[in-house]
Amino acid sequence: MAVRDILRMGDPRLLQMAQAVEAFATPELHELVADLIDTMRANDGAGLAAPQIGVNLQVVVFGSEGNPRYPDAEPVPLTVLINPVLTALSEELEEAWEGCLSVPGLRGKVPRHGHLHYTGFDQHGQALTREVAGFHARVVQHETDHLWGILYPRRIRDLRYFGFTDAVVSEHIEAAPENNSK
């Protein structure tokens, strides 16, 4: 278990399509998941995807339960999600501010589906299926985007709503995935 370096926007490894995990419950997969959780927590993140630490596999972790940086966000249970499949349950998109540990110091207002269904597996190969809304839905969409090589600035529709965290009006950033102070 270790806190790993996080790749930053501009690194071409963040633009790759991640590969599906084929072997579960292996020592390598357990180590990857432990490193993702350690690295997410060390950075006060709400989520982290394997490509962000240079591992090109479809593995994400997220969760914001008890995170002092999200006092107003609905709690999201600590989740390991592998080979995810997302299905939108609402056509309309909701705009809210997001941050990303690979885009430090910045925030942007990003449209996301407000309600969705997702499936995948945990590190033991146990199937997971959930229907979620709000902040939980936003975090899942942000993290799985990393697996398709998409960083949130590509989703911003109006670049007037993209800026430095310490310049953006504070009430707009209360629920930002991967929010951190850097």
Question: Which of 143, 171, 174, 178 is flagged as catalytic?
Answer: 143
- Part in contact with Ni ion (CB under 5 A); list of ranges 76-84, 93-101, 123-131, 133-141: 93-101
Does 100 bind Ni ion (CB under 5 A)? Our answer is yes
Residue 25 Cβ vs Ni ion, minimum distance, rounded to whole Å? 27
* Minimum distance, C-beta of residue 27 to Ni ion, in the bound complex (Å): 27
Nearer to Ni ion, 24 or 67 (CB): 67
Q: Is 145 in the site for Ni ion (CB under 5 A)?
A: no
List, as own/partner pairs, every contact residues 88-97 make where C-beta atoms lie below 8 angstroms and the sequence separation is at least 24, other chains included.
88/113, 88/115, 88/116, 89/113, 89/115, 89/116, 89/117, 89/131, 90/114, 90/115, 90/116, 94/138, 95/157, 95/161, 96/138, 96/175, 96/176, 97/161, 97/168, 97/172, 97/173, 97/174, 97/175, 97/176
| Residue closest to Ni ion, measured at CB | 100
Give whichever of 43 and 123 is closer to Ni ion, judged by the CB atom: 43
Q: Of the listed pieces 14-22, 35-43, 114-122, 174-182, which binds Ni ion according to CB under 5 A? A: 174-182
28 is a catalytic site residue: no
| Calpha distance 4→163 (Å, rounded) | 26
